[in-house]
């Protein structure tokens, strides 16, 4: 099951979300306490979205987190085209059905917000392979130079 967290749920689960972000943050970004505070503030203002993939056991009233995705709707400044950027993806261990479920969920969310595509940064070859398996392109390189 995938759930989009509301601001109160983000605050309540910030320790777990913060750990996931430290483990799977965008390449080239320093993960300082100030940066983390900015991410939290941005998420609480609903400028970032936090999605959690989890399994629930209703009989035991428990839930276990399998993955956390942090996304942002980016508007390209020249064309004004909207893209759902996967800012961070943490925890999915390669089960194809989970990747497909996550992609389907995020795709529906992106369409509902007027986005034309989903994009992400990744340095992980296994992620590239899964994206290709979903029909996506991994040909474009995001280039960074330190200033």
Residue spans per domain, the chain: 2-133
Name the superfamily (CATH) of residues 2-133.
Answer: Gcn5-related N-acetyltransferase (GNAT) (3.40.630.30)
Q: What is the pLDDT of residue 55?
A: 78
Instruction: List all residues 6 or more positions away from 28 whose beta carbon is below 8 Å from its beta carbon.
Output: 144
pLDDT tens digits along 30-78: 888 898 899 999 999 989 999 999 877 666 666 678 889 999 999 999 9
Confidence of residue 94 (pLDDT cuts 50, 70, 90): low
Tell me the average pLDDT across 136-144: 82
Question: Are 121 and 89 within 8 A, CB to CB?
Answer: no
Q: Which 3 state secondary structure label does DSSP give 67?
A: strand
Taking 90 as the threshold, does the pLDDT of residue 79 lie above it? yes
- Mean pLDDT of all residues in 84-106: 81
Contact assessment for residue 5 and residue 67, using Cβ atoms and an 8 Å cutoff: no
Q: Within 13 Å and on the Cβ side, how many CA atoms surround 36?
A: 16
**Nearest-angstrom CA–CA distance, 29 and 38:** 13
């Amino acid at each position: 099951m995938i759930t989009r967290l509301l601001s109160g749920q983000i605050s309540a689960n910030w320790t777990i979300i913060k750990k996931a972000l430290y483990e799977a943050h965008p390449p080239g970004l320093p993960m300082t306490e100030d940066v983390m505070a900015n991410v939290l503030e941005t998420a609480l203002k609903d400028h970032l979205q936090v999605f959690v993939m989890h399994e629930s056991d209703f009989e035991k009233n428990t839930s276990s987190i399998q993955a956390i995705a942090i996304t942002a709707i980016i508007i390209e400044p020249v064309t004004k085209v909207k893209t759902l950027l996967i800012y961070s993806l943490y925890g999915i261990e390669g089960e194809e059905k989970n990747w497909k479920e996550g992609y389907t969920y995020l795709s529906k969310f992106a369409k509902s917000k007027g986005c034309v595509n989903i994009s992400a940064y990744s340095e992980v070859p296994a992620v590239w392979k899964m994206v290709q398996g979903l029909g996506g392109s991994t040909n474009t390189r995001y280039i960074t130079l330190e200033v």
